[in-house]
Structure 1
C-alpha cells in the first residue's frame, strides 16, 4: 500500500489515444486539503461511446490502515435530472458532511452519473456500479481498501444507491465501464431521504433542497423525464422490490416533515428490511427534505458514520457469508417434521414426502403463462409424459427442462414452478420431461428418456418455438447433470444447441458428495460408471464445442466445489459462460423464491441471464 508521500506522485500527466478508454485522460497529482486529506479531481472512471466521460473526485484521508482506507461512494441528488458531483445541497455543504466522512477515516469518491434526460434508467445506476468497479481496480494506486465499499446517496442519489446495492436484475444488464472483471457488490448503503417505492410516489417537480423548481422549464414532472425512455416500470425501478437478506447493510435517515419525498417512503423500506432480516438502522428526525429546518445534520452524519464503522469492520468483499436466514428457518422447520432431508428415506417414501414439503414449506409462486398443457411422447420403454408451458410473449425459443431430485424423486408437478419461471422470464416455450427414476430404472434409463423427448421435440419443432437452431437444454441438480450430458451428446452428433442452462448441476459423481445417490442411480457398477462422461460430464474429452452456458450455484451448496470445477473446465475450453455464485444460498434455491427474497432474486437473475443470451437485449 503506498505511503502518503508516494500517493502525492499518483498522476497521469499526458493524455493517451482515445482507444485507451479511461487511460486516455490525464489527471494531476493530488493536493492536500485543509484537514490533510489528499484530493484528486476529475478522475475519469468510465467512457461510454456517445456520452461525455464520467468523472469522480476522490478524497483520501492522510491517516489510513495499512490495507487502505474503506471507501464511501457519494451519489448526489437532484431529482435524477439535476445535480453534479461538484454540487452538494447548501444545507449539506454548510454542515461539511463529506469532510466529516473523510475526517472519520473513510475515503470518499464523489461521482457523476448520467442524468435521466441524458440516458434512460437504469443507466445512472449502472454508472454508479461502474465507479465502484473502477475504484476497486485502482484501489492499490489510490490507497483504498476495495474489500470495504459503501454507497452514500441523498434523495435521488439514495434511490440510485439502493438500486445499485440491492437489485440483482442489474447484473443481467450489459455493464458500463472497463473493470468488468471486478465486483460491483457493496457492503453497505446509506440512504438519506431517498424514494424507495416509485409506485407509491405521486408525480412531483424536481427539487434539490426544497427549492421548489416548479412545473415550468426549470423542472417539470420529474417522472415524465425519469420514465420517458426506460424499459423498466415504476415497480421495477423501486428499490423496495429488491430487498433481500443477502444484500448490503442499510442505514436509512429521513426528516418526518419532508414535503418532497414523503417519510413513508423510508418507513416502507425499513419495514421491508426488517422483515427480510437485513442489518439495518433507521433514524427519523425533524426537518424537511435534506433535513432543512432542523439542526440535525451533524447528528445524522455521525450516526451514519458509526453504522459504517461497525458494518465495514464486520463485512468484506469475498468473506464467507452465513446461510440466508429465510432458507435456514425453512430448512429447520422441515427437519423438525422428521421428513427432511428427503433422500434419507426409501425412494417411495421420499417421493411422498417431497409432495408434502413443497406444499407446506415452499409452494411455487405463480408466473404469467399463455398455457400449460400435458402430453406424452413415445420413448424407449413406453410413453413419456411431458408438460408444455408457453410464455405470454411470442418466442422462437424451445427449452427442454429436466428436473432435479437425485435421479430418485421429482416429476412434472415438483418443478412446474421452476419451468414456469423459465418460460415467463427467459422467454421460451418450456417442455418438461418426466423421465424414469432410479432405483427402479437405473442409468441410462433417465438419460434415454430425455434424449427421446429432445429428439421428438426437434422433429416437431413447429408445435413449439418453431426454430431448431433456438433449442435450449436446461436442468437443475440431477436434472442439470442429465442436461449437461445430453448437450454434450447432441453437440458431438452435430445437433445444434443454442444454450445450456444449469442450476447447481451434479457434474462429477466420483466424489463423496454423490455417494448417497450414486448407487441408487447407477446400480451395481456405480463406482465404475461414475468415471463415464455420460455420468460425470466434467470428464468429457473436450468441452470446446459446447454452446453458451448459464450456471447458478449457492456457496453453501454441497455441489459447490463440483460446479466450480465444471465452470473452470468450460472457461478453459473457451465456452462462453455466465457463472453466478450466490454467497448466502444453498441447494434448492431455484425452488425457494416464495420463501426467500434472496433465492427469488437469484433465480430471477439467472433466468434473465438466459434471456439476455438468447434474445440479445438488455431486459
Structure 2
C-alpha cells in the first residue's frame, strides 16, 4: 500500500530536518518538542493533576488525566522516544484523547531518560509508576482495573513492566504501538525503511547505545522477544507499514500468541513510525488511537464484570 497522503505531504515538508542521530540527545529532544504545537490539543478533562510520583530512586514528574463521567479503569501510558527523548508535554494530547475515548484515567509518568539515566533506570521508574497506579486504582477509583500501554520504546517498557509485575498486581491489558522488542538490526524491515522517514535505520543503534551503555542488549528486560511471555495480559499490537520496527512488532505478536497470550493485531499499512501523535491531523492515525482506547475500555469493563 502507498504512503498515506497526509504522511506524504508531512514528509515532504520535513525532509530537510536533521536526523535524530545527527546531533546530541538535547538536540533530538528539542526536535520533538518543536513539533508539539503542530499536533494540536486534546479534549478537556474533568481533572488534570501534575504531581511528584514516588519511585525507588526519588520522585519523577507525572500527569494524571481524569475524564468526565464514570472512570472505567486506569491506563498507564509510557511515551516513546527511544528511552532518550520525549516527555509528558509531548504526549499530553494523546493522553487526553485516550482518556476521553476510553473512559479511563490516564497516567503519564515522566520517567528518567538516557543517557543521563541509562538502563535499568527507565524500566524501574515505569515499574514504580505502575505500582503506584495499582494502589491509586484502589484508593481513588474504586478498585478500577489497571492497564499499560506505550509506543515504540514506551511499548517496550510497557510489556517489560507487565512481565516484571506478574503476580504483584492485576494488569488487565497491554497496548503496544510499534514496540521495540529486539536488539536486531538485520530484519528486512530495517533494510526496507532505513531512509526517508522520521525514524532512520541508523537512529536505532544510536538510541540503544545511549540507553544500554554496555548492558546486555539481549536480556529480556531490553529485548522482550527473548523473554518467557507466559501469563502476560491480553495484548493489542499495532504496527506501521513503513517502519524499521515492523518485523519485530509482528514477531512479538507471534511470540505472545505462542505463549498463550490473547493477541489482537492491527496494522496501519500507509503509516510511518511515530504516527500515533498525529491523530488530530490524520484519519488513519486517529483510527488507531480509537482502537487502542476502545480495547483498553473493553478490557477494563471485562475485568469489572461479575464472574
TM-score (normalizing by structure 1): 0.45
2:220 pairs, out of 512, 530, 533, with 533
CA drift of 1:573 comes to 1.6
Q: Secondary structure at the match of 2:236?
A: strand
Instruction: Determine if contact 1:429/1:464 at 8 Å carries over to the other structure.
Output: no
| 1:333-358 CA-partner distances (Å, limit 9, x unpaired) | 1222x24x334321011111211123
Aligned counterpart in structure 2 of residue 615 of structure 1, from 285, 294, 301? 301
Q: Is 1:423–2:99 an aligned residue pair?
A: yes
Go from structure 1 to structure 2 and tell me whether the alpha carbon gap of 1:508 and 1:599 turns closer, same or farther (over 3 Å shift). Answer: same
Relative contact order, CA 8 A, sep 6+: which one is greater?
A: 2
Residue by residue over 1:279-333, the C-alpha shift from the partner in whole angstroms, topping out at 9 and shown as x without a partner, is xxxxxxxxxxxxxxxxxxxxxxxxxxxxxxxxxxxxxxxxxx0111211211221
Partner Cα separation in structure 1 for residue 147 and residue 256 of structure 2: 17
Report if the CA contact (8 A) 1:327-1:595 is conserved.
no
The structure 2 residue matched to 1:522, chosen from 209, 212, 237, is 212
- Distance (whole Å) between structure 2 residues aligned to residue 592 and residue 383 of structure 1: 30
Preserved CA contact (<8 Å) 2:72 2:300 = no
Listed as ranges, the gaps of 5+ residues in structure 2 are: 187-200, 303-307
Say what the alpha-carbon RMSD is for the aligned residues. 1.9
1:364·1:591 contact (CA, 8 Å) conserved in 2?
no
- Partners in 1 of 2:9 and 2:140 — Cα distance? 40
CA distance in 2, matches of 1:415, 1:499: 20
For residue 543 of structure 1, report the CA deviation from its aligned partner: 1.6
8 Å contact 1:364–1:593 — kept in the other structure? no
Equivalent of residue 478 in structure 1, options 139, 153, 156: 153
Distance 2:135 2:267 in 1: 36
CA displacement at 1:462 relative to structure 2: 4.0
Deviation per CA, 1:206-246, whole angstroms, max 9, x where unpaired?
Answer: xxxxxxxxxxxxxxxxxxxxxxxxxxxxxxxxxxxxxxxxx
Query: Quick one: which of 232, 238, 241 aligns to 1:555?
Result: 241
Cα distance change on mapping 1:607 and 1:349 into 2, 3 Å = same
Q: How far 1:559 moved relative to its partner?
A: 0.7
- Aligned pair 1:335/2:15, yes or no? yes
Distance in 2, Cα, partners of 1:342 & 1:466:
43
2:172 is aligned with 1:498: yes
Could you list the per-position Cα deviations for residues 176-231 of structure 1 after superposition, in whole angstroms to 9, with x for gaps in the alignment? xxxxxxxxxxxxxxxxxxxxxxxxxxxxxxxxxxxxxxxxxxxxxxxxxxxxxxxx
Count, aligned residues:
287
Q: Is this contact kept in 2: 1:578–1:609, CA < 8 A?
A: no
State the alpha-carbon separation in 2 of the partners of residues 471 and 485 from structure 1. Answer: 15
Residues 137, 146 of structure 2: 8 Å contact kept: no
Provide the TM-score with structure 2 as the length reference: 0.88
Partner SS, residue 50 of structure 2: strand
Structure 1 residues without counterparts, runs of 5 or longer: 1-320
Check 1:456–1:614 CA distance in 2 against 1; reply closer, same or farther (3 A cut).
closer
Q: Match of 2:34?
A: 356
Out of 370, 374, 384, which is 2:60 matched to? Answer: 384
Contact 2:172 2:299 (C-alpha < 8 Å) held by counterparts: no
1:551, 1:580 within 8 Å by CA — same for their partners in 2? yes
Distance, in Å, in 2 between the alignment partners of 1:463 and 1:322 is 48
Note the alpha carbon deviations across 1:376-422, whole angstroms, 9 max, x for none: 01223321111000111212411111110111111110111111121
Cα shift at 1:485? 0.2
List aligned pairs for 1:577-592, cutoff 5 A: 577-592=263-278
Q: Which residue of 1 is the match for residue 292 of structure 2?
A: 606
Deviation at 1:610, TM superposition (A): 2.6
Task: Point out 4+ residue stretches in structure 1 off by more than 4 angstroms.
Answer: none
For 1:552-601, what per-residue CA distance to the aligned partner results, in whole angstroms no more than 9, with x for missing partners?
11111211000000001111122111110111111111111122122122
Match of 1:499, SS state, is: strand
- 3-state secondary structure, aligned to 1:460: helix
User: 1:322 corresponds to which residue?
Assistant: 2
Corresponding residue number in structure 1 for 2:231? 545
Contact 1:411 1:434 in 2 (8 A): yes
Between the aligned partners of 1:435 and 1:376, the Cα distance in structure 2 is 11
Cα distance, 1:370 vs structure 2: 1.0
1:461 matched residue in structure 2: 137
Contact 2:159 2:176 in 1 (8 A): yes
SS of 1:498's equivalent in the other structure is strand
The equivalences for 1:216-227 within 5 A come to none
Contact 2:88/2:108 (<8 A) preserved: yes
For residues 564 and 452 of structure 1, do their structure 2 counterparts lie closer, same or farther at Cα, with a shift above 3 Å needed? same
Report the counterpart of residue 193 of structure 2 in structure 1: none
